[in-house]
Amino acid sequence: LSEYMFPDRQFKDHGINNTIIFFGSARIRSEKEFHHEYESLKAHLEDCSEDQKPTIEQKIRILEKQSELTEYYLEARDLAKMLTEWSLQFPKPKRFIICTGGGPGIMEAGNRGAYEAEGESIGLNISLPFEQMPNPYITPDLNFEFHYFFLRKYWFAFMAKALVIFPGGFGTLDELMEILTLVQTKKIHKKMPILIYGEKFWKKVINFDYLVETGMISAEDLDTITYVNSPKEAFEVLTRAFQEQFRL
């Protein structure tokens, strides 16, 4: 009950009615963090014992594969900053507030962009066996930690006016599919743009066209998603949709 009532009170006190959700991996690092970890592993490889080398080499290979994803951190940060700067022109109840899962990676990038634009942002963190610490860019009064996934997901969906889905793993896929299911089944009635950021990544991960071909989903279901590949493109899609829907 407290995980419903406390966020509800905080959002009302801050005049927050509209959010833009940023979903994405906690493992996508900034370029600076990536190079720091990469150089650390390289140095460790030179000093480690022979039996440790295969493990370190595997970590390096995985990290090298992730190097192409570091751009998404910067782009999520840029998009959050652009949206926050745009939103600050409106009176508070009409503003669109960036909301993330509160952790590192893409989540940090979203909160960081809003912070750099001098706007508020929300972090809906979750207590996990492997500790996910909240990032330092969340507005302090809007930094929440949940025990229950279902209440965290409720707060993601309840005030969301749009979603931007950056590359991620199981958690991001879970969040994306749940929202798509709620929209498909009309449990979410509001018009809500769903932007899938990074067409190259996502078309390797999910073949939506094959789901249509096999009749697992309808062709109309794909109308709920839009692929975007740059902060500028995402910004234009979202602001145009908001202006039409909310008569801004």
Contact between 93 and 11 (Cβ < 8 Å): no
Q: What percent of the chain has pLDDT over 70?
A: 99
Mean pLDDT of the chain: 92
- What is the rounded average pLDDT of the residues 154-175? 96
Q: Cβ contacts of residue 41 below 8 Å, gap of 6+?
A: 56, 59, 60, 63
Q: What confidence score (pLDDT) does residue 47 get?
A: 76
Integer-rounded Cα radius of gyration of the chain: 19
pTM of the complete model? 0.91
Question: Which residues lie across from 155 on neighbouring strands?
Answer: none
pLDDT tens by residue, 181-206: 999 999 998 889 999 999 999 999 99
- The pair phi, psi for residue 161, each rounded to 5°, is -110, -10
Question: Which residues lie across from 124 on neighbouring strands?
Answer: 144
Q: Which parts of the chain fold into alpha helices (H)?
A: 2-13, 31-47, 53-66, 70-87, 106-116, 149-158, 170-184, 199-205, 208-213, 231-246
Q: Confidence band (pLDDT; 50, 70, 90) for 131?
A: low
Q: What confidence score (pLDDT) does residue 10 get?
A: 96
The amino acid occupying position 63 is: L
- What is the rounded average pLDDT of the residues 130-143? 89
Cα 16 from chain centre: 19
